[in-house]
A and B are shown apart, each in its own frame.
Chain A
Amino acid sequence: MSSLYALHRVVQRYDGRTVLEIPELFLHRGALTVLLGGNGSGKSTLLRLLAVLERPSAGEIWFDGVLLRRADRKLRRRIGYVMQQPYLLQGSALDNVMLGLKFQGIRRAQRRALALMAFEEVGFTADPRQSVAKLSGGQRQLVALARTLVLKPEVILLDEPFNHLDLHACKSLAQLFVRLRRQGVSLVISGHADLEFLPADERLLLANGRIDLGQRGTKAVRLDRR
């Protein structure tokens, strides 16, 4: 597998406090990478950096051979990002999923058709025309995921996507991630130390903003051989 992301001496500081320090890291194209760590370990910061929503205080992040400085729209379309507690815009679930397509100038009828397919893909069974205000936490998570998936990004960064889901929904989501990985989509999924049900290509453990090299890949190897 070739590298999709390459990080060199990346440091992120907030108000002078270092929250993330990664000497070197490669994330592979088409891989399912799991990012584990407790609260405040730096998982969300790393994902935001990979999503080009923040710029590192120091160091370099390369995406597919391009040094990430400021994300232009073309580049953004290649990177999907679902935050821990997704923000849904006012309106219906359908409006939310169609929004990114609208930004691309796709016609309404096509937007609608693509959005409905994305709802089906993530297993969103509620009426997509209903207001987002009426959705449960789990449903909101699925809408946010459908909103990202519909844009067909090359890589999807998911910050604790299993947080608001019941066991059944977790299983279907895990199956979806495996399906996406088979389709060649790269995935980086963060979570607490309870994502063993995900057949990851690589597992990274973050603690206090640093990658625990001793833990890198060990569980992944075991899981892959199952």
Chain B
Amino acid sequence: MGDFEAALRLILTQDAELLEIVFTSLEISLSAVILAALIAVPLGGIIGMAEFRGKRLLEQFLSSLMALPTVVVGLLLYGLLSRHGPLGEWELLYTPAAVILGQAVLVLPLIVHLVSSAVQSADPRLGPTLESLGAGFFQKLKGFLAETRTGCAVAIATGFSRAIGEVGVAMMVGGNIQGLTRTMTTAIALETGKGEFERGLALGLILLGMAFLVNWVIAWLKRAA
């Protein structure tokens, strides 16, 4: 009970270190989701909209990538970004950019899959309607994404939820550097290891609050649709 009270006190007194970690986490995960969404939303829209050979196989592949363990992504990215790796020259390892890149890679298939599903669940008359009005390929894509915007928003929110809660990528390519790459999840692991249970608990409570908030937004979007 004492740890819980201390954790609450840290949150209510807006402890500077705690806030720094929360804001670093938000900055990294929001950047990662924006980066991933810029690629994943149109890509998911195209996959959902177009009919092509191997579409089902591609969807199954994307679906399996959704369950990709975060440490595997972290490991692969570490291999690419480490000094002797193919992208070692970029010197991104242990920087926020590396974590952003890693989280973007992690949530990209998730957003692609969910956007593709949303587009495929659109009214079957939508495509013929847009075509008969003379829409070109990208106008049609825009039309599909606009009509399924709630589903796309749910996909992005789900992506954010996965990014903010992951620990493997942030730990492996971020290095848990205070004020730079220390996210809520890596800080929880560190603080708990150090025996600073109340700090870990405070961050856990904030993370839980965010998860509830994102889920509430997703549920609200689904209801609105």
Beta-carbon contact of A103 and B136 below 8 Å? yes
Bound CA–CA A53/B125 (angstroms): 11
Hey, what's the 0/1 contact readout for B120-143 against A, CB within 8 Å counting as 1?
000101101101111110010001
**Which positions 170-188 of chain A face chain B at CB distance < 8 Å?**
none
CB distance from A143 to the nearest CB of B (A): 12
- Shortest beta-carbon distance from B145 to chain A in Å: 12
A66 within 8 A of B: no
In the complex, whether A86 has a CB less than 8 A from a CB of chain B is yes
Tell whether B39 is near chain A: CB-to-CB under 8 Å: no
A109 → chain B, closest Cβ, in Å?
20
Q: Answer whether A103 and B125 are a contact pair too, CB < 8 Å, given A89-B147, A90-B147.
A: no
Interface size on A, residues (CB 8 A): 23
Q: How far is the CA of A208 from the CA of B78 in the complex (A)?
A: 64
**A71–B132 alpha-carbon span in the complex (Å):** 10
Query: Does residue B72 face the partner (Cβ distance < 8 Å to A)?
Result: no
Chain B residues in 8 Å Cβ range of A100: 133-134
Residues of A within 8 A of B125 (CB): 83, 85-87
Is B219 interfacial (CB 8 A cutoff)?
no
Contact A103 B129 (CB under 8 A): no
Q: Does A111 contact B (CB under 8 A)?
A: no
Bound Cα distance A53, B134 (Å):
11
Question: Chain B residues near A151 (CB, 8 Å)?
Answer: 133-134
Residues on A with beta carbons closer than 8 Å to the beta carbon of B132: 51, 53, 76, 79-81, 148
Q: Given A89-B143, A89-B147, A90-B146 in contact, is the A73-B129 Cβ separation under 8 Å? A: no
CB pair B133–A86 under 8 Å, yes or no, is no
Contacts of A83 in B (CB 8 A): 125, 128-129
Q: Is the CB of A53 within 8 A of B131?
A: yes
Taking a contact as CB atoms under 8 Å apart, the answer to whether B133 and A147 are in contact is: yes
A91 to chain B, nearest CB (A): 9
The complex places the Cα of A137 from the Cα of B90 at a distance, in Å, of 60
Chain A residues within an 8 Å CB radius of B143: 89, 99
* Chain B: minimal CB distance from A81 (Å): 4
> Do A89 and B129 have beta carbons less than 8 Å apart?
yes
Residues 127 to 185 of chain B near chain A (Cβ within 8 Å): 128-129, 131-136, 139, 143, 146-147
Q: Which 10 A-B pairs have the closest CB atoms?
A: A87-B125, A100-B133, A81-B132, A87-B129, A53-B128, A76-B134, A77-B134, A103-B134, A103-B135, A103-B139
* Interface residues of A, Cβ cutoff 8 Å to B: 48, 51, 53, 71, 73, 76-77, 79-81, 83, 85-87, 89-90, 99-100, 103-104, 147-148, 151
Listed by A's residue number, 27 A-B pairs whose Cβ atoms lie within 8 Å are A53-B128, A53-B132, A71-B131, A73-B134, A76-B132, A80-B132, A81-B128, A81-B132, A83-B125, A83-B128, A83-B129, A87-B123, A87-B125, A87-B129, A89-B129, A89-B143, A89-B146, A90-B146, A90-B147, A100-B133, A103-B135, A103-B136, A103-B139, A147-B133, A148-B132, A151-B133, A151-B134
